[in-house]
Amino acid sequence: MEQFIQPINLIGPSLLVPLLPLLGFILLTFFGKQLKTFGPWIASLLVLGSFVLSVYIFSSLGNENNLDYDLFTWLRWGDVSLNFGILIDPLSLIMLLVVTGIGFLIHLYSIGYMHHDEGFVRFFAYLNLFIFFMLLLVMGNSYLVMFIGWEGVGLCSYLLIGFWFTNDAYNDAAKKAFIMNRIGDLGFLLGMFLMLFYLGGLDYATVLGSASSMEKGAPILVAITLLMFVGAMGKSAQIPLYTWLPDAMAGPTPVSALIHAATMVTAGIYMIVRSNILYSLAPFTLEIVMWVGVATSLFAAIIGIKQNDIKKVLAYSTVSQLGLMFAALGLGAYTSGMFHVVTHAFFKALLFLGAGSVIHAMGGEQDMRRMGGLWKYIRLTAITFLIGTLAISGIFPFAGFFSKDEILAAAFHHKIVWVLLSVSSMITAFYMFRLFFLTFFTTFRGTEEEKHHLHESPWTMTLPLAVLALFAIGAGFLGMPSVMHMPHWFNGFLAPVVETSKTILGESHHVDHSTEIMLMLVATALAISSIVIAYVFYISKKSIPESDEETKGFAKWVSNKFYIDELYDRVIVKPVMVLSDIFHVVVDKLIIDLFVNASAWMVGFTGRTLRLVQTGNTGFYIFVMVIAMMVLLLIQLVQ
């Protein structure tokens, strides 16, 4: 171990990275009133500080060195001790940069977006707390520390979805998110128990070390990876635990951008990439991950077609894109999945913030049927939004093109998966341009009052849009396909993380250059045809989605999200509630208490009965005595 010199002098900065936002949370919570409007600026600057530190660590660490150290023992019993420690390696560095970078931009954006809100300061306190937990999640050196962040971001998600807490529908959405995540967390927890029991620890070094000595497909590894994947399903909104994410749009739009698109929901992908050795050793789980991803990607994309709330469309598109990432992981293309996490973080944050800017301009309206023609009123928002839309649709040279192409290329050897993912991407291009055309083109369909109110957002909001737009254009060049004869920086940077997996999985299915070009052309053709269809529908024909009552047949099923929420309600929620009452009224009050009261009654009855014997009548006593003596005599005789 001696040859790996620990860059000790980075420990301080690396600790500050999560501590700065935590400090912000504490300051804003306890001194929010005194800080007044400075509070949000302080919060934003602290996150900027974390970002700068992350860049510093990034530049001084590179991808050859890791920073791995324990701070203190958190839990211990017998010979087991579970430490609280930090690990910074290429994978966490990427996440650090994304979280703090986009985090800062969204903080800045929120200063403009939220400044009318009476919970202005509270909002930033929660955002800072979120950043803190998210950083713990990606910086921990063990699954236990990851779990702290994992549950912590769930809490922040709860707090921010239910940010406007006087609205009970929002509170329901918040509660739903937390509980669905908890279902996943149980899987995570049990996965940790198995690791602790069979692999001898929870820190990555121990777990991955002992796993690599096990044979491929060992049942215990399959069990562990499946359980952990249940956790990922909850956090990253995969079938069947995805229904909380669309509801989570109840939160303020910057929250949707930061938590429910760019960072928190990708935690599941981060977790799997972090445990890539485990997953590579459990091919069965990889298969499951792939199919869940494909199914989610397609299913959510279909629902996306019939949504009319601008944020709901983006929400389903997030679910769909996350599915795409899981499909990539399931194919063993860990770095491609991670690459899509990064590009998606940029363009989806951009899209959500753009939607926020639209909603801001519309004075709170979110229904696309009441928008239209916004291009000329909010030009900057519209242009950046177009960039985001092109990026998510996978048009060259926008970021989404590169990462999506990589995933599709990895899927090519698995023809059905490739077809399904291509279809899903095609649908994505369609509904995204449907969204774009309905919102920004043809004529304005809102009220006069709304029209009067239309305005471009302040600089704190447009600056983040512009910066994110630049990344949505440029981030793809971090990972150029081999056909372009340029270095794939991203894969190179992450190479140390997935090295072992590469050898476990064997030769990956490399497509040759001509196939790759063919694949790109097919994908682009599909995307462009989708755009054309959307254009015909929503611009040439100027059709506007019908009102909810008029929707019929299959379309009604789609727009009602296939009634999955209703199904869960009938099959799980209601029965549990009934069971609760049955347990309380029947089992507790009737059955158990019956025994308790019966024993009390027995005592009373015995007392009452025996009392009758004590009559005080001497004749009776003598009579009983004689009888008893006779009985005793009889017994003697018989024996």
Q: Looking at beta carbons only, is 36 or 455 nearer to other proteins?
A: 36
Under the binding rule (CB under 8 A), the answer on residue 73 touching other proteins is yes
Q: Which among 110, 251, 127 is positioned nearest to 177, based on CA atoms?
A: 251
Region near other proteins per CB under 8 A, out of 59-67, 240-248, 262-270, 590-598 = 590-598
Closer residue to other proteins in complex, CB, 231/354? 231
Write out the two tokens for 313: 């469309």
**Taking the complex as a whole, how short is the minimal distance between the CB of residue 460 and other proteins, in angstroms?**
26
Task: Give the total of residues touching other proteins (CB under 8 A).
Answer: 49
User: Least CB distance from residue 577 to other proteins, whole Å?
Assistant: 6
What are the backbone angles phi and psi of residue 82, rounded to the nearest 5°? -110, 120
- Cα gap 299→564, rounded to integer Å: 12
As measured in angstroms, the least distance from the Cβ of 272 to other proteins is 21
Is 392:383 a contact under the CB 8 Å cutoff?
no
Q: Does 155 help bind other proteins (rule: CB under 8 A)?
A: yes
Site map 159..188 versus other proteins, x via CB under 8 A: ---x--xxxx--xx--x--xx--xx-xx--
Q: Tell me which stretch binds other proteins (CB under 8 A): 42-50, 75-83, 285-293, 396-404.
A: 75-83
Q: Are 291 and 233 in contact (CB under 8 A)?
A: no
Contact at 8 Å (CB) between 530 and 433? yes
Quick one: tokens of 392?
Answer: 């998510």
Contact between 586 and other proteins by CB under 8 A: the answer reads: no
For other proteins, what does the binding mask look like between residues 29 and 48, x meaning CB under 8 A? x-------------------
Q: Which is nearer to other proteins, 549 or 581 (CB)?
A: 581
In DSSP notation, 296-322 reads HHHHHHHHHHT--BHHHHHHHHHHHHH
Stretch that binds other proteins, among 401-409, 428-436, 582-590, 620-628 (CB under 8 A): 582-590
Find out whether 105 and 467 touch, Cβ atoms under 8 Å. yes
Q: How far is the CB of 316 from other proteins (least distance, A)?
A: 25
Cβ atoms of residues 293 and 326 within 8 Å:
yes
Question: What's the closest the beta carbon of residue 198 comes to other proteins, in angstroms?
Answer: 11
User: Which residue in the set 484, 517, 536, 592 belongs to the binding site for other proteins (CB under 8 A)?
Assistant: 592
- Candidate list 152, 191, 231, 464; residue touching other proteins; CB under 8 A: 152
Share in percent of the chain as helix, strand, coil (round to 5): 80, 5, 20
The reply to whether omega before 90 is within 30° of 0 (cis) is no
Tokens of 622: 């003598």
User: Contact letters (x/-) for other proteins, 187-216, by CB under 8 A?
Assistant: --xx--x--xx-------------------
Of 156 and 427, CB closest to other proteins = 156
- Judged by CB under 8 A, the stretch of 207-215, 517-525, 593-601, 622-630 that binds other proteins is 593-601
Closest CB to other proteins among 62 and 575?
575
In the beta sheet, which residues pair with residue 84? 72
Query: Which is nearer to other proteins, 515 or 580 (by Cβ)?
Result: 580
* Both structure tokens of 52: 């700068």
- Cα-atom radius of gyration of the chain, to the nearest Å? 31
- Under the binding rule (CB under 8 A), the answer on residue 147 touching other proteins is yes
Which of 175, 290, 273, 189 is closest to 239 using CA atoms?
290
> Does residue 600 belong to the site contacting other proteins (CB under 8 A)?
yes
Rounded CA-CA distance 595/584 in Å is 15
Name the segment binding other proteins (CB under 8 A); options: 92-100, 361-369, 513-521, 595-603.
595-603
C-alpha–C-alpha distance, residues 421 and 266, integer Å: 19
Shortest separation between residue 604's beta carbon and other proteins, angstroms:
11
Strands of 65-175 (E only): list them.
67-77, 80-88
Give the pair of three-digit tokens for residue 154: 């769930």
Select the span of 70-78, 238-246, 448-456, 543-551 touching other proteins (CB under 8 A): 70-78
Type of residue found at 175:
K
Q: Which of 584, 621, 626, 631 binds other proteins (CB under 8 A)?
A: 584
Phi-psi region of 471 (alpha: psi -120 to 50; beta: other; left: phi over 0): alpha
Amino acid at 217: G
Residue (87 or 497) nearer to other proteins, CB: 87
What is the number of H-type helices and E-type strands within the chain? Answer: 27, 2
Please identify, using beta-carbon distances, which residue of 29 and 65 lies nearer to other proteins. Answer: 29
User: What are the tokens at 497?
Assistant: 């993380």
- Binding track, positions 562-581, relative to other proteins; x by CB under 8 A: --------------xx-xxx
Q: Which of 338, 577, 317 is closest to 428 using CA atoms?
A: 317
Chain residues binding other proteins by CB under 8 A are 29, 72-78, 80, 147-148, 151-152, 155, 158, 162, 165-168, 171-172, 175, 178-179, 182-183, 185-186, 189-190, 193, 196-197, 576-577, 579-581, 583-584, 587-589, 592-593, 595-596, 600
